[in-house]
Chain A
Amino acid sequence: GEDVEQSLFLSVREGDSSVINCTYTDSSSTYLYWYKQEPGAGLQLLTYIFSNMDMKQDQRLTVLLNKKDKHLSLRIADTQTGDSAIYFCAESWGDDKIIFGKGTRLHILP
């Protein structure tokens, strides 16, 4: 079946690294995504990774994919107050459907 799991909350001190984890069940997933949603706003695509990759880096963001364990993570280096948001992990199979996790709320401590 299709399922994406994430922890619901994460608190990180400003300046530290944040690591948000996600597990998925369908090994045929082709694309895996991280979306950010700030309060009252829509979803912003942060980054995505193809299933044949194991790492992708984009400025402060690093995505790691462990396909054997079906585990995806998003690392945010030097976490800032503007990073406070809900982060959704999502997967798709290259067709028209995308399945979202429940989202991880990232809280930044001063």
Chain B
Amino acid sequence: DTEVTQTPKHLVMGMTNKKSLKCEQHMGHRAMYWYKQKAKKPPELMFVYSYEKLSINESVPSRFSPECPNSSLLNLHLHALQPEDSALYLCASSTSRGAGNTIYFGEGSWLTVV
């Protein structure tokens, strides 16, 4: 089973709302990622958690707040977003460093900020 599950699939939120994107994997992977993908562009790395600790933050604005409650779950908390934050948000996971680092992606959450 190489499944990464993301919810919700679609989210529309206002600029003053607070919402969260959720991601789950049960492959025993120790690294989890959030990527942002705009239309016709490649995914851009936002955050990496390794062994439940934030290991990479690619200078993402603080209106995006990641959380890793345990090794299977990864959340992305959203607050005071801008319309330009509308994009596909992809969660991914991989085995720990040095083990081939094969990264598996979820189907993504389509976010529209109005």
Contacts and interface: CB of A to CB of B under 8 A. Distances in A.
B55 A94 contact: no
B35 to A, nearest CB: 9
A88 B35 CA distance: 14
Given A94-B97, A102-B41, A42 B90 contact: yes
A29 to B, nearest CB: 11
Interface stretch (B14-22, B79-87, B101-109): B101-109
A100 B101 contact: no
Interface stretch (B42-50, B61-69, B70-78): B42-50
- Of A31, A44, A95, the most chain B CB neighbours within 10 A belong to A95
B105 A96 contact: no
B100 A44 contact: no
Interface residues of B, number: 29
Chain A contact residues: helix, strand, loop or mixed: strand
Contact of A43 (B31, B40, B105): B105
B101 A94 contact: yes
B92 to A, nearest CB: 8
A100 B43 contact: yes
A65 to B, nearest CB: 15
B42 A101 contact: yes
Contact of B45 (A44, A94, A98, A102): A98
B11 interface: no
Contacts of B90: 42-43
Contacts of B56: 96-97
A34 to B, nearest CB: 12
Nearest to B44: A100
Interface of B: 2, 4, 6, 31, 33, 40-43, 45, 48, 50, 55-56, 88, 90, 92, 94, 97-98, 100-108
Given A42-B108, A101-B42, 18 more contacts: A31-B101, A35-B105, A42-B4, A42-B90, A42-B105, A42-B107, A43-B43, A44-B105, A45-B2, A45-B104, A45-B105, A48-B100, A48-B102, A50-B100, A92-B103, A94-B101, A96-B31, A98-B101
